[in-house]
Structure 1
């Protein structure tokens, strides 16, 4: 009798899971393959991002060069709008496979050179820049693929699930990163990242993404420019444009604090401490991703105003509390609203922007926001050498205050409705 009850409970739990939004998503073969490919990429990227910044700092001992590395990693984003029309007309699964293979070849050059010669900071900086450039193809392609594979009403849950999983895996990778660098060296993590690109390319090869009427067509110069202009026009004529302006305020300050983080962590410990800082950030983003669905029915404008005030206070706490566990706690708390925001804003844009424009809009918004980011890295790195890393990190709180101020004074942002109230394909109409 107990066995029967246990079986019934198990069946009931499985049935409820299959009927849930998460169960429906994971039963979708296309979403599941995209999900797995991005998870594998996430592991490699997290280890690589820490390894590259630490290797640059190790080779030079200067926050200017870590700032330069950040500058190179963000500079290609400024030109991402040039790739949007190409992505929107591409067969997305094929494009993702080709880009993944190219990324593997680029990143494996560091361990290959290390086998026969001393790795130079110039090589690492070149790899950082090339990988960032290739990312301008695969990032909008992944974003454009998701709404073609998932129904509109499931997009918030899909973004939340992906983000939560990415942050969980990222937190584990980052928590181990300092120890892995100490045991195997930063160069070894580059080899691991190359392997993850190959594995994710296999998943992308199995992916079948629905096409649009422009898929597979080759635009003329006139059509290419018209496609690009269409993406800009949607942003300019919708609330997305205001979101871009607001995000730009914080971009430079965030970049500046990221540029000096290795030096700030080094002053408190070393590579292990740097890994803990990145892990604290990822745990905060994870918590935000997990609770994001609870904010779907709350006015998005009100959430941003309150949430990013919390982030600003957390940033100030990082450089004022003095005790490492409390510093890490402040760093994690400061990123929780960012994790919620990332999920909700992705779902908002993917719902409100027509599918055949999504890659152009995603890449263009990324370009506009990133236009000030590279300068933030350079200025942050230079100021870190002169005034200290703690000063730069504390100053970044101003960026979040500017973001809050802009959302307050722009009615379209302040009164922005809940994400669940956004009408499909309603932006730019």
Structure 2
């Protein structure tokens, strides 16, 4: 826990607070203004689709000073929310502007995530990577729980305008914190002649393609993310109030928090069974939450959170495996390709969930996620590609 890691962790914690507030505020504003499941789906789609653009950031992360990229991400978000807050004050804030602003802000946020992940391995020993990754996730999700739990209440009390204003102030603060407190030596200088953007971009895809059995694992997670997103797309529709939607998000954060805590004690050599048991347990817990869906909201959230505990633990193991197998000089390019592949279909899942909600029962859409988890668990158990990935990883360790 050196100074830079502490600063980076603090920035990510505060940024996660701000992300949760503006996402919930934007979705609920669109819901209040349109009362349309379709437009709710469009809004969540717009919030998720920037993940696919991460792949375009990879060469920039590897070639340019990461501190400057983090400063750029914070500055763009501060400007966006200053504009949205101003338009709200003069009563000129439309649904279209909210959706565009949400897209631009999330696009900037998606630059900061892979930049931070690419920085971490240069700031700590390889032996500490899993603990640091788990600590990052554990810490910011622990505060994210509080944020999501109270976000709905605060939104009802202070309104969308003050949420956007507070976000602008927070991102200005983060800009200053990164500028003055993050001390890293990045001496590489790049000129147009030695920076071949498209060649670097293609290299990231070629690197992932050569991962063999690990590439198959990435594709499986891509499909899993898409199916789970269909179920998550109906959460704003299932929620009757802002407070309920905030509690749904808090349940996801609590589960992810507990899962990241458990991953600290889980050895990566049990990776195969971690994936098998996590998807199986998560699917069962999610199905049980569906049973309580219209009976007891509290039991629904508890079981839903338990499902995300398993998903969160699996995510930490997968992230650590990525960082250890990819060569440090190529982390930016390759991580952004992997994250883009994982998240590229997720926005369409959210959009599909919202669009289908007008014709398909909400309960059936809610069950798409757990059924997919159970099927994936069976797939992990019966196929050998995960064993091959574990064998490769054991050699690297």
TM-score band by shorter chain is over 0.9
Give distance in 2, aligned partners of 1:204 and 1:226.
30
Aligned to 1:141: 115
Alignment gaps of 5+ in structure 1? 1-24, 425-429
Q: CA deviation at 1:326?
A: 0.7
Give distance in 2, aligned partners of 1:84 and 1:297.
26
Question: Which SS does the other structure have where 2:196 is aligned?
Answer: helix
Q: CA deviation at 1:298?
A: 4.4
Aligned to 1:373: 346
Q: Does 1:325 align with 2:298?
A: yes
Give distance in 2, aligned partners of 1:348 and 1:367.
17
Give distance in 2, aligned partners of 1:272 and 1:298.
41
Q: Is 1:37–1:201's contact at 8 Å kept on the other side of the alignment? A: no
Note closer, same or farther for the CA distance 1:219–1:58 as it changes in structure 2 (3 Å cut): same
Q: CA deviation at 1:218?
A: 3.7
Aligned to 1:80: 54
Question: Which SS does the other structure have where 1:396 is aligned?
Answer: helix
Give distance in 2, aligned partners of 1:210 and 1:390.
52
Q: Is 2:24–2:151's contact at 8 Å kept on the other side of the alignment? A: yes
Give distance in 1, aligned partners of 2:108 and 2:339.
14
Note closer, same or farther for the CA distance 1:129–1:242 as it changes in structure 2 (3 Å cut): same
Aligned to 2:45: 71
Write out per-residue CA displacement over residues 389-410 of structure 1, whole angstroms, 9 at most, x where no aligned residue: 2221112223323432443344
Give distance in 2, aligned partners of 1:80 and 1:181.
30
Give distance in 1, aligned partners of 2:344 and 2:84.
28
Aligned to 1:91: 65
Aligned mate of 1:185, from 159, 165, 169: 159
Write out per-residue CA displacement over residues 295-339 of structure 1, whole angstroms, 9 at most, x where no aligned residue: 125421111111111111222222212211110111110100121
Q: CA deviation at 1:411?
A: 1.7
Aligned to 1:6: none
Q: Does 1:398 align with 2:362?
A: no
Give distance in 2, aligned partners of 1:108 and 1:291.
39
Aligned to 1:417: 390
Q: CA deviation at 1:277?
A: 1.3
| Aligned length, in residue pairs | 393
Aligned mate of 2:29, from 55, 66, 69: 55
Write out per-residue CA displacement over residues 203-248 of structure 1, whole angstroms, 9 at most, x where no aligned residue: 2213233448xx4314559832221222112211224412210111
Give distance in 1, aligned partners of 2:175 and 2:304.
34
Q: Does 1:285 align with 2:256?
A: yes
Write out per-residue CA displacement over residues 340-367 of structure 1, whole angstroms, 9 at most, x where no aligned residue: 1222222221122112111111111122
Give distance in 2, aligned partners of 1:50 and 1:83.
26
CA RMSD, Structure 1 to Structure 2 (Å): 2.1
- 1:218-237 pair list within 5 angstroms: 218-220=191-193, 223-237=196-210
Which stretch shifts more, 370-379 or 330-339? 370-379
What TM-score comes out, normalization by structure 2 length?
A: 0.93
Q: Does 1:351 align with 2:324?
A: yes
Q: Does 1:163 align with 2:127?
A: no
Give distance in 2, aligned partners of 1:390 and 1:311.
17
Aligned to 1:262: 236
Aligned to 2:225: 251
Q: Does 1:341 align with 2:314?
A: yes
What TM-score comes out, normalization by structure 1 length?
A: 0.86
Q: Is 2:41–2:351's contact at 8 Å kept on the other side of the alignment? A: yes
Structure with bigger gyration radius: 1
Q: CA deviation at 1:275?
A: 1.2
Aligned mate of 1:112, from 86, 100, 111: 86
Aligned to 1:308: 279
Q: Is 2:252–2:308's contact at 8 Å kept on the other side of the alignment? A: yes
Q: Does 1:207 align with 2:178?
A: no
Give distance in 1, aligned partners of 2:91 and 2:250.
32
Question: Which SS does the other structure have where 1:83 is aligned?
Answer: helix
Q: CA deviation at 1:179?
A: 1.0
